[in-house]
Amino acid sequence: MISLEFLIASAIGLLVSTGIYLILRARTFPVVLGLAMIGYAVNVFLFAMGRVQINSPAVLTEASKSTDPLPQALVLTAIVIGFATTAFIVQLALRSRYESGTDHVDSKEEISLVDPREDEP
């Protein structure tokens, strides 16, 4: 049987790897999505640091089954800050698209892999 810790670690790894892949793309929208994915991975990691308990009551009854509320408060704060940061990055990407006319991260067109001289007779 797969443990809960393994599932959480796998989810964090998948989010980080997807985020890194998207950040390495040349367009601004995938970069914004990649940053959001890495932010979600950090939130899941912080939440997991509070010892996720299954089948335990919400009201603390015994000290051995309690979870740490500090990581949960940090995750709530990180969600709000992440939303504001993502909105700001989207606004910067839209402004960059308006100013440069392209949505490439480095404001250059894609390098064509086809030789333009092949079309000439």
> Tens-of-pLDDT digits for all 121 residues of the chain?
678 889 999 999 999 999 999 999 888 889 999 999 999 999 999 888 877 666 665 566 665 566 667 788 888 999 999 999 999 989 988 888 888 888 887 756 555 555 556 655 5
**Domains by residue range for the chain, with CATH:** 11-53+68-103 (1.10.287)
Beta-strand ranges (E) seen in 1-121 are none
What global pTM score does this model have? 0.72
Q: Which residues pair with 104 in a beta bridge?
A: 27
Question: According to the model, what pLDDT value does residue 9 have?
Answer: 92
Cα–Cα distances (Å) from 64 to 47, 53, 106, in that order, read 18, 10, 53
CB atoms within 10 A of CB 41: 20
User: Alpha carbon 14 to chain centroid distance?
Assistant: 10
